[in-house]
Structure formats: C-alpha cells, structure tokens
Chains A and B, each alone.
Chain A
Amino acid sequence: MKKLIPFMMVILLTGCWDVQELTEIGIVAAMAIDMDEETGEYQLTAQYLRPSAESTFVASQDDPFLMITVTGRSISEMLRKTNHKIDRKGFYAHNKVVIVSEEVAKEGLLSIFETFQREQVVRSYVWLGVTRDTSAASVLEKQKNSISKVSANFLSSLFDNAEYEAVAFNLLKFYKQALRQGMSPVLGVLSFDQSNQNTEADVQLSGGAAFNKDKLIGFMNNKETMAYNWITNHGGSSAQGGLTFPYKEDKYATLKLIDINSSIKPKVTNEKDISYTIEIKKQVEITEQQELKKTETRKELPKLVAELEKQAEKEIENRVAEVIKKAQEEFQADIFGFGSSLRNKYPKVWKKVKDNWGQEFANVPYEIKVEVEILNAGLLQGSLHPQE
C-alpha cells in the first residue's frame, strides 16, 4: 500500500497534460509563405486536411482540405494565429511541403525557417519549393492535373519524382548548403505551364532557383538545371534521367543514364591561381535512336556507338559550360560547391579567398572533361528499317 499510493498519485494527478486527441488536432499538410507587397508582412497559407472527407466509411462530399491564411511578421506568430481561424489545433509534423514565393525567397529564407528548427514544429525532410510568376498560395489550390485529392500530396509527389530538369531540396539539405562554406543551394521551381494557351495552366516542377546563401538570385531554365544536376550529382544516378540531342539533322537520339560520376577538382598553382577541372563520367544506354538506317556490316555498329558517344560528350560539355558561365556571370553564386571542394583540398588557400569568394568564383578558370560510355543499345542492334 505504501508503494501503491505514490504510484497511483503519479498516474492520476500528473498524467495527460500533453494529450491531444485525434479530434483536437488539425493536420497541416502544406504551407505557403507569401509577402504582402504593401505592408511588407508575411502571409502564411496553411493547408489543413479535413479527415471526414477521407473517411473509409461514408466520406463526406466536402473538399478534403481547407486553407487558412493569416498575416504577420514572424512565422511562429502566424502558426499560432491560424488557431484562431480554425476549430482545430495546428499539427505540423506531417507537413509535406513548404512553398515560398519569389519575393519571400529574395528576402532570404533562413530568417523565416529559423523557427522550424528552434521549435521543431516542421520536420527537416519537408520539401521546399519556390514559385515563379505566381503566388505561393496559388499552387496549394486544387490543381486539375492532380490525381491526388489533396494538393499537398500532389506537390510532394512532384518533388519525389523530380528528375531530368527539376531539382528537389528538402529543408535539411537546404540548411546544409545555405550554411556551409563555399556552396549555395538550388531549390525546385513551381510554376504554371504557359505553353498551352487554350487550356487552364498546369502546375509543374521544372527548372531551378539559384540562391546565394539563403537569398534567391535567379532562375535556371530546364537545360541549365539538367546540367547543374550532372555537375552536382544530386539525387543519385537514376533520378538524373537521360540526354536527348539531335543526332542527324532532325533525327534525335536519347541516351538513358545508368550511372554518373562527377567531380570538381580544384588546382592551385603559384599558391594563388585557382583553376578547376570538372570531370563527368557517364554510363548510358541507347533508348531511342530515330534515324532508320540499315546497318550493312557488323563493323558499323561500334562505329555508330563511338559516334554517338562523341556527340553526347560534346553536347554535355556545351551545356555544362553554359550553366557554369551563367552561375559565374549572372548569379555570381557558387551553386556547384567549387568553394567547398577547394576548402577540402587547399584549406590554406581557401582561408585567404573565402571572404571574397563571390567575386573570386566569378572569374575562376575551369576545364570540363566529359566521358560517355555507351554500355548497350537495348534489344535492338542496329535500327529498324523498312524493306524496300
């Protein structure tokens, strides 16, 4: 009894203080941060899930989510303000995406993400995206090109599938690169596809938003983003997609990437002249080759392969040079991590140049070495060709 009484007191008099029943929490699936141009206040749009619409019994006909928008100066303040506007208490651990608008990104993101880390409300693997030419809140609306009923799931799937011409950064990776010496992050860009005038625009994830530390400085187009992916080797090999280029006149060839290995190698001569060698080694397979030609002899096959390899190398080299040039001249931001590779190999040199790395990077000479190896040509040896 002497033992039982304190035990029961512990159970009955203390517990339950942080109990949150499922019916008390509002699950926030996505957040968008915009900026009010006039007042300079932030505008937070949170997407709350409506569970009854997801019920496995009789689902209600309501929208599966609803949006709450509040304005304020700090994110933490706004997270609390949302509780005044909705009958559930915000629960952010299942937040999947945080979208910021172009204007917010230009102001700098670390200051607004600070509370995420300080309060641990949002998990570090939440996807980050920047909107281009549209408000952040607008992409959270229900999109017509979404199979998922909840647009948060739609957006997070876009990031999950990112390859070829898109980048996907989560919060943790953003922190790592934004806080690291000699590297700047690139976030995925969400925009409305304007290419088809007739129909309502689709949301798409394509291109990259280049940052200088945590501030947005410019956008990369699709081709540049692809080259950026090759240089930085982001997301593993299969996520890199393939390479399509004109092979003969208007006939195109597509090479599918099997493995990629790229490195940035700094070289210092005379203790201050920094130069770089960018090596990209690719293993690919031919997945499409549109030229219909009969191969007369078997010797032609290796020749064809060698030719393709050569052309691919040239194509890659051009594209890589283009994106480095853009980064150097237009962004003056080291999005590839030239600085951090220098820091790893020549820490003493890095110490001297690090304060002025932005300008240093803009003028640094580099050399590009590309090696493409075609491993196989699928199940076709030559190509299809109709008999005369």
Chain B
Amino acid sequence: MRRLRKSSENKGSQQSQQSKQMARRVSIQLKDNRSTLKQNFNNSIDIQFRDLQLQDKNNTRGFICYTEGLVREEYIHQNVMDPLLGINFNKVKVNANSLISYMDSHIIKASSVNKTSSLDEAIEKILRGQTAIFIDGFDSALLVNTEHYHSRGVEEPETEATIRGSREGFNEVIRTNTSLLRRKINNPDLVFEEFIIGENTKTKVRVGYIDGIAKEEIVEEVRKRLNSIETDVVLETGYIEQYIEDHPKSIFQTIGNSEKSDKVAAKLLEGRVAILCDGTPFVLTVPYLFIENLQVPEDYYSRTFRSSIVRLIRLLALFLTVFTPAVFVAASTFHHEMVPALLLTTMAAAEERVPFPILLEALIMIVIFELLREAGVRMPRPIGSAVSIVGALVIGESAVQAGLVGAPMVIVVALTAISGFVVTAVNNTVILIRFILLFLAGTFGFYGLLLGTLFLVGHVCSLRSFSIPYLTPLAPVVAKEWRDTFVRSPMKDLQGQPGSIVRKKF
C-alpha cells in the first residue's frame, strides 16, 4: 500500500488492490460485465442491478449496480436515474464515443463521480456504497458516490464519564470521527492519511497528526508499522493495537485509547498520533506514556488546585489498589509486630472463626469481586441492579457472617475495588499485578512484596512506546514536564498549551 497525503474520500481507496495481480478490466460488452459482476457477487441478494435504456439513436443499453442499504436510493433516483433517463441524447448532439464522458460532466448531478476501467475497483466501490454505471460499448464505468448508511449519533461516551467538558464521543463511522477532530482543530496542518487493512474486511484506517507538532519519526514509524500488518480481519482498533504495539508480551499497554473527541484532539495537539478505524468509536493514540493513565481531560478544564489534588489522589489510588491486599496479607501473616496491638487483637478476633489462611481469604474475595465486575459489564441493563444486590451480599457482612472471611478483609477488598475504579485506565494491568504481588506477599511477606515491586519497576523502566521511554518524565527525568505530571501548574505556566515530551519542538 502506498501512502496518500491529505487523501479525500475517493482518492483514498482507489489504490487498494493495485498490488494485486492481474486486474480485471471493464469489458466492452455489457453482457459480459453484468455476468462477471453477478458471478463475482455470488448472486448475493443485497446487490441490486437495474437495467437502463438511453434515448439516443442506438437505444444504447446499460445498467447500474449498487449495494442495498449502503446507498441513499432517492439520491440515486434524483441525481442519476432521472437525468440519465430523462435526457434525449439525440437533441444534445453528443459524439457516441464520448457518451460516457458527457454523462460524467453534464448529466449526473452527484458531487463525486469517477471514471474507471478496472472492474475490481468497481466491485470494491460498489461494496462501499457507490453506484456503478455501465454503458454498452464502453470499457469503462462511472462510479457515483451515493454512500449513505445508518449510524449512531454523536453521543456521550459511556466509558469515560466527565463532569465538565465536551460530551461528544466518537461513533462507528470514521468520517464522523475525523470530522469531530477537524471541528476541534481548525488547522490545515491537521492531516489524515488513509490505510486499508485486512484482506477480508478491507477496513479503513486513518492516521491523524498535526504536521509541525508531531515528530516526523513517530509518524513514519506509525506508517511503517501499519503497512507491515498482515491480517485478514480488522474489526476494531484493538486488532491494530495488538499488531503495532512495542511490547506485546508486557502487561502494560503502550498504546492509549479513548472515545472522547476532546481527549484525542488534546493528544493530537500535544504531538501525538491518532489512529482511527472504521467501525469503532475507540481511537488509538501513540506514543502512550505511563503517566497518561493518571490524567484525564478534566484536569485541564478545572482549576489548578482541584486538578492537582485529584491527580495526587489518583496516584494514591493506584498505590492502594495495587498494594492494599498484598500489604494486608503480608502484615497479618508475617509481620504482626507492624500492626498496632489493638488492631491486631480485633483482626485476630475477626479471624477467629474463619478456617482459611488469610492469603486464601484475600484470593476468594478478590476473585469474587472480579466476577461481580465482569458480570456487571456483561449483564443486560434491565437486570443490572440484581448484580449490585448480590454484590452487596457477597462482598459484605453476609460473607463475614457465613464465616468465609474476616471483617477486615471486606474493608481491604472494598478499598482495593474503589481505588481501582479511580484509575480505570490501568485497571486491566492492575488486576494482574495485584495477584502477583498478593502471592509474593503471601509466601515471602514484605520481602517478596519488595522484590516484586522492584521487578515491576524495572520492567516498566524497560518499556518504550514508539521510541519514547514509557516512564518519561519520571525516568528519564524531564524536569520541565513535571509542571504537568503529578500536579498541573496554572495554564499560564504551561504557556497556553499543554507541553509534551513527544512534541517536535520541546
């Protein structure tokens, strides 16, 4: 595939199959074209053919072909059929040889019409909602853009709720998504490039960046990685993410995703590159740094003090959700001297009737919590409230009264869970780390916890996301960037726009 700068809708996909072997051409015989197409589409019911007879001296025959549901049929009637059938070619004196060019320039009223001589291209375009016009005696066809399909409106995203700020979320249509970004960044330097990925799905993937802000190397790296994807299917950006990420075997994600248009716009303005994919509201942003897990767009919309405190609280929540169960298990099985005497007595009192070791209790509770969480996500909305009722029973006093766990464990798991919800961006990673640390704490106490943490920190330090070290600006230290890391300095200090290490001119 070759890269197209600032490609428009139509130019976008014309390349697609060029690399592919012997291209079939449009035959001069109308019958041949029609039968080839029919055969090619395997007589599929949703591909519509309609025969025409033009009013010229030869009564030239033709047909149009489109995919049902991907086109607006009234639009075809008004702008293609009516003019074609309504005109008397005898009167306009058009050369029989240039009939098709005349149609293109004079008759068809659609905003975008292309002539092609490749049957493969015609097939592809028909499947994308264009209407192909074949005329007997011509070895080329006209492709009229009549694309129109049903899509969800621009709604508030459910995954990333905010109190303040834009509520526009991306939807499943890539055109809408790029337009949302374009609307926020009125700058000719905002560039979208299109790639078609997936042998079977031929999914449109667009790469967006701001020329002059994004680093060329990163953009080039994104192109290179996208081009090297060899796959049949791309249904979501998740497919792409897994093909192009730096460390597929790491538990940390090095590519960010969001369905909030303002968030992605902000990332573009910071010099990041966005990867959009048709059919999903989730947009990838690269490079993705660890610290972005703790940042949300609202940090910039609210005042400095609030955002700074909330960021610190998020950091605290990250530590709590990772370490609480492990520290509790370590302290209550190995290091009793660390717990205040009175608390130790009440903890011991709570454990008195529980038959399991504390490690097992912690595992039971955390697994139950993960079960509930997953159930809450998968459950159809109307019965969702059942989950919370059951959840309150399972992780709550009933579990204690049943003698399965001690009361302090309920608090520990509740604290872990609540803190986990604060840092949803890293939640998937955190679950795994939590289990690993829990085992280490349960077998080696704080010693194991410390080793595990060291290993973890070492691992995170070794990660990179599109050539940027994952822990920047913490390691390597970028002092300038600390104004917008754990706390957010006032806007004026950030020089009007959020700075970023990924910017070209930093």
Contacts and interface: CB of A to CB of B under 8 A. Distances in A.
Interface of A: 11, 14-16, 18-23, 25, 27, 29, 49, 51-57, 59, 91, 93-94, 96, 123
A17 B28 CA distance: 86
Interface string B324-349: 00000000111011000110111111
Contacts of A19: 333-334, 357, 442
Given A21-B357, A23-B352, A51-B352, A15 B347 contact: no
Contacts of B400: 57
Contacts of A52: 349, 352
B219 to A, nearest CB: 36
Nearest to A11: B443
A59 B345 CA distance: 12
Nearest to A53: B349
A27 B349 contact: no
B189 to A, nearest CB: 47
Interface in B437-456: 439-440, 442-445, 448
Given A11-B443, A20-B336, A59-B349, 5 more contacts: A18-B334, A25-B348, A55-B352, A56-B350, A94-B344
Nearest to A14: B443
Given A15-B448, A23-B352, A93 B337 contact: yes
B111 to A, nearest CB: 59
Contacts of B357: 19, 21
B440 A11 contact: yes
The list of the 8 closest CB pairs from A to B, nearest first, reads A15-B443, A93-B337, A55-B349, A51-B349, A51-B348, A94-B341, A22-B351, A22-B348
Residue from A20, A29, A57 having most chain B Cβ neighbours under 10 A: A57
A136 B27 CA distance: 113
10 contacts: A14-B443, A15-B443, A16-B442, A22-B332, A22-B351, A49-B345, A51-B349, A54-B346, A55-B352, A59-B349
B108 interface: no
Looking at A21, A29, A56, the one whose CB has the most chain B CB atoms below 10 A away is A21
B196 to A, nearest CB: 38
A286 to B, nearest CB: 40
B407 A93 contact: no
A21 B356 CA distance: 9
B357 to A, nearest CB: 6
A15 B444 contact: yes
Contacts of A57: 349-350, 400, 407
B173 interface: no
Nearest to B338: A93
B275 interface: no
B358 interface: yes
A11 B439 contact: yes
B53 to A, nearest CB: 71
A21 B407 contact: no
Given A21-B357, A27-B341, A54 B336 contact: no
Interface string B471-488: 000000000000000000
Interface of A is mostly: loop
Given A11-B439, A15-B448, A91-B336, A21 B344 contact: no
B161 to A, nearest CB: 36
Contacts of B333: 19-22
B335 to A, nearest CB: 9
Which of A18, A54, A123: most chain B CB closer than 10 A? A54
Contacts of A94: 336-337, 341, 344
A53 to B, nearest CB: 8
Contacts of A20: 333-334, 336
Contacts of A53: 349
B351 A21 contact: yes
A27 B407 contact: no
B410 to A, nearest CB: 12
A55 B343 CA distance: 10
Contacts of A56: 346, 349-350, 407
A55 B350 contact: yes
Contacts of A51: 345-346, 348-349, 351-352
Nearest to A56: B346
A18 B334 CA distance: 7
B334 A27 contact: no
A96 B344 CA distance: 14
A257 to B, nearest CB: 32
A25 B358 CA distance: 14
Contacts of B352: 23, 51-52, 55
Contacts of A16: 442-443
Nearest to B341: A94
Contacts of A27: 336, 341, 344-345, 348
A93 B337 CA distance: 5
Contacts of B341: 27, 29, 94, 96
B334 A54 contact: no
Nearest to A23: B351
Nearest to B358: A21
Contact of B347 (A14, A22, A91, A96): A22
A12 B40 CA distance: 60
Contact of B336 (A11, A25, A29, A96): A25
A93 B336 contact: yes
A97 B357 CA distance: 31
A54 B351 contact: no
A30 B99 CA distance: 108
Interface string B397-423: 000100000010000000000000000
Nearest to B347: A22
Nearest to A91: B336
A15 B400 CA distance: 28
Contacts of B351: 21-23, 51
A21 B336 CA distance: 9
Contacts of A59: 349
Contacts of B332: 22
Nearest to B339: A94
A177 B443 CA distance: 41
A22 B358 contact: yes
Contact of B349 (A11, A15, A54): A54
Interface in B337-395: 337, 341-342, 344-352, 354, 357-358
B352 to A, nearest CB: 5
B311 to A, nearest CB: 35
A11 B439 CA distance: 8
